[in-house]
Amino acid sequence: MLPAALPARAESTNNLNISFGYFLALLAFLLLILPPPLFPVEDGHYKILEIKPNVFVWRAEDILEQEGDPNFSRPGNAGFIITPEGVVVVDTTNTPFNARALLYEIRQRTDIPVRFVINTSASPDSMLGNEAFEDFRPTIISTPAAATLMERYRSKLPGRIEDDWRLEESMRGIHPTPPNKTFDQKMTLPIPNPQIKVINVGDNASPGDAVVYLPQSKVLFLGDLFQNEYIPRMNSGNIRHWISTLHQIESWDVDVFVPGHGEPGGRQQVEQFRQFLVWLLNQVQSRVQQGKTERQIENDLVPFQNNHWHAPELQSEVVAAIYRQLTSGSKETSASTQTPSP
């Protein structure tokens, strides 16, 4: 009986092989005739959001990068606008490696060269990717104050690396690339459609912050000026002016506000962030008036109650920054400075 069963088994195997061969042929045929999937929007670490036609946001997950400056390990948001005259990039996130992912996504959508790169601030988590676009020889734009801070960051980096071998490892292959063009108050890019305005809003989260406004699309890239459900980083900026700037910007004709970190939002999210800054300023100021020290105020406030935003490690840092502003007596008069209108 066993020999008689063998041909049937062989015939079944042959049928299986033929069926599998048909499957492979059909799969190859479908791959040839079906269009490739449209633009891969994420690789597990970031996503691409088309917030308006031809206006995109590169949005990273809340992860801590092992490469780059460990003080700025959270990738900032980046954006790009595709125009007939060239691509405009807004911020380049915290490493050239992430910026190359941004460039990859641009290349999935257009072959037009990158003509402009705009840095909304000098913060390394928004500008350390500049070098990824150097092959295009773009105009890299910032305010004069931000450009000065970027140059200072670059000049001090060798000394930091010399004192810290871990920093040397994480910064290997990274070359900070400051802007090659600055503007004073306002600048309109030489692109007719869409109109793109870059506006110097002064000292807020840091000196020389800028915003990028697209009036036809009603989109505003705010950079570090707006953090959507992220604890903000505050360097040598001005908390009072920051609050005043946000209050004025809330009246602009804008549908989508793009933050430096977090999801793009609407007016309500910007107002929520401004109210957080007001609360924090009041909390620190009242304790300064009671004569408390910086350490005592940090112990009182950190961790922030009923606040579960991202980047909680920055809580002590932002409290200390506000304390130093209030006790130094500097920049108090600049709170009334008017933000330029769009």
- What averages of pLDDT result for each successive group of 10 residues across the chain (342 residues)? 45 50 52 40 76 97 88 95 97 96 97 98 96 97 97 95 90 94 96 95 94 98 97 89 97 97 97 98 97 97 94 96 87 53 81
Respond yes or no on whether the N-terminal peptide bond of residue 190 is cis (omega within 30° of 0): no
pLDDT (0 to 100) of residue 14:
52
Out of 3.50.50.60, 3.60.15.10, 1.10.3720.10, 3.40.50.300, which CATH number does the structure's domain 46-336 have? 3.60.15.10
Q: Residue 81 in contact with residue 90, Cβ under 8 Å?
A: yes
- Of 221, 32, 35, give the one whose Cα is nearest residue 116: 221
Non-local CB neighbours of 209 within 8 Å, separated by 6+ positions: 120, 121, 143, 146, 200, 201, 202, 203, 223, 224, 225, 237, 245
pLDDT (0 to 100) of residue 23:
53
pLDDT (0 to 100) of residue 31:
40
pLDDT (0 to 100) of residue 93:
96
Q: Give the separation between CA 319 and CA 192, rounded to whole angstroms.
A: 44
3-state secondary structure the chain: CHHHHHHHHHHHHHHHHHHHHHHHHHHHHHHHHCCCCCCCCECCCEEEEEEECCEEEEEECCCCCCCCCHHHCCCCCEEEEEECCEEEEECCCCCHHHHHHHHHHHHHHCCCCEEEEECCCCCHHHHCCHHHHHHHCCEEEECHHHHHHHHHHHHHHHHHHHHCHHHHHHCCCCCCCCCCEECCCEEECCCCCCCCEEEEEECCCCCCEEEEEECCCCEEEEEEEEECCECCCCCCCCHHHHHHHHHHHCCCCCCEEEEEECCCECHHHHHHHHHHHHHHHHHHHHHHHCCCCHHHHHHHHCCCCCCCCECHHHHHHHHHHHHHHHHHCCCHHHHHCCCCCC
Q: What angle do CA 254, 122, 312 make, to 5 degrees?
A: 80
Q: Residue 79 in contact with residue 257, Cβ under 8 Å?
A: no
Residue 218 zone, left/alpha/beta (φ > 0; ψ -120 to 50; rest)? left
pLDDT (0 to 100) of residue 64:
87
pLDDT (0 to 100) of residue 267:
97
